[in-house]
Amino acid sequence: MNKLLAITVLVAFLALGAESFRVLREAEEKGTVATVIDTLKGYYDKSIDTASSYVDTIKSYKLEEKAKNLYEETVSAVTTYSGIFGDQVYHLFYSDSH
What's the pLDDT at 72? Answer: 94
The domain segmentation of the chain, as residue ranges, is 1-30, 31-61, 62-98
**What is the number of residues in the chain?**
98
Question: Whole-angstrom Cα distance, residue 98 to residue 94?
Answer: 12
Q: How far is CA 47 from CA 17, 28, 51, 60, 80, in A?
A: 44, 28, 6, 20, 46
What's the pLDDT at 32? Answer: 83
For the segment 30-78, what is each residue's pLDDT rounded down to a tens digit? 778 888 888 899 888 999 989 888 888 877 888 788 888 999 999 999 9
pTM of the model: 0.38
What's the pLDDT at 92? Answer: 87
What's the pLDDT at 85? Answer: 94
